[in-house]
Structure 1
Amino acid sequence: MRREHITLREYALTDPLTGIPNRRAMELELKRSLANADRAGSMIHLAFIDLDDFKSINDDYGHDAGDRFLIEMARKIRAGLREGDFIARIGGDEFVVFGSAVSEAYSDSRKAIQKRIEDFSKGTFHLGVADIDYEGASVGVVTSEPRMKEPEALLSLADEAMYRVKKARRREQLETDF
């Protein structure tokens, strides 16, 4: 009975497609991490990742190709993280990564994290039916505030940062198209 309970708990906290933690697991772990950071007087960096143009992958190549893309993206993101960083798929084409802020140069750290994730989200993806050259995800990175305890507050800030990046990328794309 105990083994079955553990198995069911694992299923409840894992994204069935990618095998990484899901939104529920992320919220639990982020709440725990924020509490630990508060006690230690430290901060957490959180990256909100949106896979730009994912809908067109599904539309152009089919849902099986889209699923393969998500699986491969989860693998690439996980492979690029530091030991102890946490990754989760929180929605269709959205991922979250967070970990301890090890340097007090928070702005520089956020930029480095954003660039690192953008870089390893780019490249050629082999999706079975086709190979696609993907230009990378939109990534917004934020740092927790002292005594921040609610995961939703940090997620909201990161989501807003990601949308600012997405808008800037669209503007750049429009400018290069003309």
Structure 2
Amino acid sequence: MSQSLTDFSGLIRSVQKSAVHLEMRDGYGVNNETKGFAEWKQGHRLNPDDRASWWRPWLDLVQEVTAKGVLIRRARVISEPVSDYIAFEHSFTFTNVMAGEQVRWLPRRQASDLVLPGNDFWLFDGKLVQFNIFDGVGRWVHTDQTEDPSVTAHCTAAFEAVWERGIPHEKYTV
């Protein structure tokens, strides 16, 4: 399934209670991050005090939805030592937190006994799972959605297991 940012924004806005996101890759080839990643590799870091320089539409959306009382949580399963991409992500995750998202990091070695799905996913209100399918170099390919109760139950359990063990962003250093 192909999905536009507008469609995804509508989906997030429709959430009543919670949206959780499990990320399990050590690198993504997301087009809108290419420039920022290159700049980060050259030493550029976002200044938390210069909000205008880093605030973006995703953060507006998170702030809008969390202001309605929706809980947005993101958990990342990562290898250590972390890849350059994960260090890059970590460097700007404070923006997600400032917008209202809760974020935790779980070193992969602490997830060996967990049963996790094969793909990253979003779970909306515990009822709809959207799997994000990426190719071998981390480029987004498409999404698959399901409301199958057994799949949503598996994804709920997987996310909560990672969340329980995860280290809050404020306490995790790379």
Q: TM-score, normalised by structure 2?
A: 0.25
Structure 1 or 2: more strand by fraction: 2
Structure 1 or 2: more helix by fraction: 1
State the structure with more CA Rg.
Answer: 1
Q: TM-score, normalised by structure 1?
A: 0.25
